[in-house]
Every structure is written in structure tokens, then in C-alpha cells.
């Protein structure tokens, strides 16, 4: 399961979170809330397809730079990891 790689208090900051769940103000946290948020996103866009452009690494961070082929938009996702190598925070940026 994908969420096994995340801490229980994992959080996401994303403009998409603001669009999908306006009351979130762009922030979402906790595995169950994030699972629900991802499910809504996939339901709204079942043809979702990502094309990886590059991976950037740092001691406790990983950045995925990719193209969202279904939205014709480039994005990056910056993951922060704890000492157990679980993601505990993610920040997502989108091109205009």
C-alpha cells in the first residue's frame, strides 16, 4: 500500500487541495484524510497520467518533477522524510 510509506500525521500542501477541499485552505493531513483527498482526485480525473521528467535528491528530501499529461501541466512534489525514511510532509507546486 502506498500510504505505508507515509507517517500517520503526513501532510500535504497543494493548490489542488484547495480546489478539491476548499475548507482545507490548501493543507491536508493524516493518512485517512489524504486517502480520501486522493480518491476524490482520481474520481474527478480517472485518466490521470504522469510522465516523470526528473528526480532531485537531498539528505532527507526528494523532489519529483513531472508532467501531468492529462492536464498538460508541469508539477513538482517535494517530499520530506523522517529518520525512518517515511514521508512526513509533501509540498506540491504547479505551473500556470
Domain annotation for the chain: domains and CATH numbers? 2-94 (3.10.450.50)
At 56 the pLDDT is: 97
**Chain mean pLDDT for the chain:** 91
Q: Model confidence over 54-91: pLDDT tens digits?
A: 999 999 999 999 998 877 899 999 999 999 999 999 99
Handedness of CA 8, 9, 15, 19 (dihedral sign): positive
Distance, in Å, from the CA atom of 51 to the CA atom of 86, rounded to the nearest integer, reads 23
Strands 6-13, 87-94: parallel, antiparallel or unpaired by DSSP? Answer: parallel
Distance, in Å, from the CA atom of 89 to the CA atom of 7, rounded to the nearest integer, reads 9
Predicted confidence (pLDDT) at residue 18 exceeds the cutoff of 90:
no
Secondary structure, 3-state, 10-58: EEEECHHHHHHCHHHCCEEECHHHHHHHHHHHHHHCCCCCEEEEEEEEE
Q: Retrieve residue 16's grid coordinates.
A: 489542488
Amino acid at each position: 500500500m502506498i500510504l505505508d510509506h507515509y507517517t500517520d500525521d503526513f501532510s500535504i500542501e497543494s493548490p489542488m487541495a484547495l480546489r478539491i477541499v476548499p475548507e482545507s485552505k490548501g493543507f491536508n493531513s493524516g493518512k485517512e484524510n489524504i486517502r480520501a483527498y486522493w480518491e476524490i482526485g482520481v474520481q474527478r480525473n480517472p485518466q490521470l497520467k504522469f510522465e516523470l521528467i526528473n528526480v532531485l535528491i537531498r539528505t532527507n528530501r526528494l523532489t519529483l518533477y513531472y508532467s501531468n499529461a492529462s492536464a498538460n501541466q508541469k508539477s513538482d512534489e517535494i517530499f520530506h522524510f523522517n529518520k525512518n525514511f517515511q514521508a512526513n510532509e509533501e509540498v506540491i507546486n504547479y505551473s500556470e
